[in-house]
Amino acid sequence: MRLTTSALALLATPPMPRHPAITSSLAPGASVLLVGSGPVLLLAARLAAIKGFDTTCAASPSDIAIGGQVCFDSMLSSDQISFLPLSGPDASDDKIAAAVAKSDGMIVAIDEDWTLTKPQLDEILPEASKADWPSHFVLMSRNLEVQQGGPFAFAAKRAANKELWEANEKSVDNYRAGEALIKQRALAAGAAWTVIRAGTMKGGASGDAGFTTDDGLTPSTGGEPSFLTGEFYKLGQQDTVNWRRIYDCGALGVELAAGDVLPGPGFTAALTATDKVGAGDSHRGAVATALVEALRCDAAKNRDFGVKAKEGREFPDAAAWARMFESA
Select from 214, 211, 216, 246 the least CA-distant residue to 231.
Answer: 211
Q: Is residue 5 part of a domain?
A: no
**Residues belonging to the chain:** 328
**What SS3 string covers the chain?**
CCCCCCCCCEECCCCCCCCCCCCCCCCCCCEEEEEEEHHHHHHHHHHHHHCCCEEEEEECHHHHHHHHHHCCECCECHHHEEEEECCCCCCCHHHHHHHHHHCCEEEEEECCCCCCCHHHHHHHECHHHHHHCCCEEEEEEECCCCCCCHHHHHHHHHHCCCCCCCCCHHHHHHHHHHHHHHHHHHHHHCCEEEEEEECEEECCECCCCCCCCCCCCCCCCCCCCCCECHHHHHCCCCCCCCHHHHHHHHECEEEEEECCCCCCCHHHCCCCCCCCCCCCEEEHHHHHHHHHHHCCCHHHCCEEEEEEEECECCCCCHHHHHHHHHHC
pLDDT (0 to 100) of residue 150 = 67
Residue 300 burial (10 A CB sphere; 0-12, 13-18, 19+): buried
**Cβ atoms of 147 and 33 closer than 8 Å:** no
Could you list the mean pLDDT of each consecutive 10-residue stretch along the chain, which spans 328 residues?
Answer: 43 39 77 98 98 98 97 97 96 95 97 94 90 96 81 79 88 96 95 97 91 56 92 78 89 97 84 87 98 97 98 96 97
* CATH code of the domain covering residue 180: 3.40.50.720
> Which residues sit opposite 312 in a β-bridge?
251
What is the pLDDT, as a whole number, of residue 265?
Answer: 84
- Look at residue 239 in the predicted model and tell me its pLDDT: 64
Rounded Cα gap, residues 79 and 75, in angstroms: 12
Query: Which candidate, 233, 153, 244, 241, places its Cα nearest to that of 199?
Result: 153
pLDDT reported for residue 152: 72
In a domain, 3, yes or no: no
Q: Which domain holds residue 281?
A: 10-327
Task: Indicate the number of domains in the chain.
Answer: 1
Evaluate whether residue 36 is within a structural domain: yes
Q: Output the pLDDT for position 24.
A: 67
Question: Is residue 111 one of the residues assigned to a domain?
Answer: yes
Contacts of 198 (CB under 8 A, 6+ apart): 40, 140, 141, 142, 143, 165, 282, 287, 306, 307
Asked whether residue 206 is domain-assigned, the answer is yes
Q: Residue 7: its pLDDT value, please?
A: 43
Report yes or no: 287 and 196 within 8 Å, Cβ to Cβ: yes
- 254 pairs with which residues across the strands? 309
Q: Are 71 and 57 in contact (CB under 8 A)?
A: no
> Residue 49 phi/psi, 5° resolution?
-70, -40
Rounded distance, CA 162 to CA 165, Å? 8
* Residue 121: inside a domain: yes
Q: Is residue 2 part of a domain?
A: no
